Amino acid sequence: MIAKPDATRTGKPETTKTVKRERRKPTLEEIPFVREVPVVASATMVVLRYVGAWLRGGDEESGGFGVRLLALGVAGYVALYFAEKHPGLWYVYGGAGFLVVTTVAVRTGLSAGRTVKDLEAARAPAPAEGEQPDIGPLNDHEMPGEEAPEAEPPTVSPAEADAAFGLFVEHNVAFAVRTDPKGDRKGVHTDTLLNILHKTGMLTDWTEPMLRKKCKSLGIPVRKQMGIQGRNYFGVHVEDLEQSLGRAVRVPPQLVPDLTQNAPTAPPAEPPAPPPEITLIQPPAGAG
């Protein structure tokens, strides 16, 4: 039997089979700038949302929306016209767009891997560590550990929601007229009504033209020019409203005088709060 030659005697290196290691494929998150793609997309959507809100904020009846849209189109045409003659402007446009998107991302709190939906979910208040969420008092037939049945949302008909909206406008017109120390104020501006609603968290997605359309659809007259404290804007005049209602405007409860002894006589500083039924009011037809 012939013995195999030893590698140390022959001087030849011993050949062994080596296992070929496969390279690990990088994930998408490990590729540079890929994680920033959702941030850029979300920030771009926020910028477009701001532009759309700026366009919708134009006054439709006086042509403000058309003027803003025309101005935006002219600006885009001028930018393209000069870019054709000077191609280097594309770098300027790109840098300006990157600066705007980056600024929006920083101001809104966007970061790598977080989108607008993540931010909205993060804004929800979370219970502190070790703190049990408040589940409210238990019913007589409810045992500890059992979940309380979900409360049904209040059912309000569209007619009731419209009536609540009309009462809100009427009360604020009466409040503005009664609390003016000089007696010169004869109504309230429509954007003032919208600000009151937004402060209470109601109809936050409505714009001033939408509120004005809703007033007209309910028979609430709106003047195109009404001077209040040196500012002319759309508004509801008390005389027009009373003529439409066929009666005097109703005074809000907070303006009803208190007949008890030593009651304060100073008028309230805050306008009447809107009824909760307004949250279920339907937007005006054709609102977008």
**How does pLDDT run across 182-223, given as a tens digit for each residue?**
878 899 999 999 999 999 999 999 999 999 999 999 999 999
Q: Is there a contact between 39 and 110 (Cβ–Cβ < 8 Å)? A: yes
**How does pLDDT run across 139-181, given as a tens digit for each residue?**
555 555 555 555 555 577 889 999 999 999 999 999 999 888 7
Burial class (CB in 10 A: 0-12, 13-18, 19+), 211: buried
Say whether pLDDT at 266 is over 80.
no
Higher pLDDT, 181 or 235: 235
Higher pLDDT, 54 or 139: 54
**How does pLDDT run across 114-137, given as a tens digit for each residue?**
454 554 555 555 555 555 555 555
d(CA 134, CA 145): 13
Instruction: Report residue 29 as tokens.
Output: 């998150």
Q: Is there a contact between 65 and 51 (Cβ–Cβ < 8 Å)? A: no
DSSP 225: E
Q: Is there a contact between 254 and 266 (Cβ–Cβ < 8 Å)? A: no
pLDDT band at residue 113, thresholds of 50, 70 and 90?
A: very low
* pLDDT for the residue 209: 92
**How does pLDDT run across 1-29, given as a tens digit for each residue?**
555 555 555 555 555 555 556 666 666 55
* pLDDT for the residue 263: 57
* Mean of the per-residue pLDDT values of the chain: 74
Q: Is there a contact between 233 and 190 (Cβ–Cβ < 8 Å)? A: yes
Question: Where does the chain show beta strands of DSSP type E?
Answer: 187-189, 223-228, 231-237
Pick from 9-18, 139-148, 256-265, 269-278 the range whose average pLDDT is largest. 269-278
d(CA 84, CA 97): 18
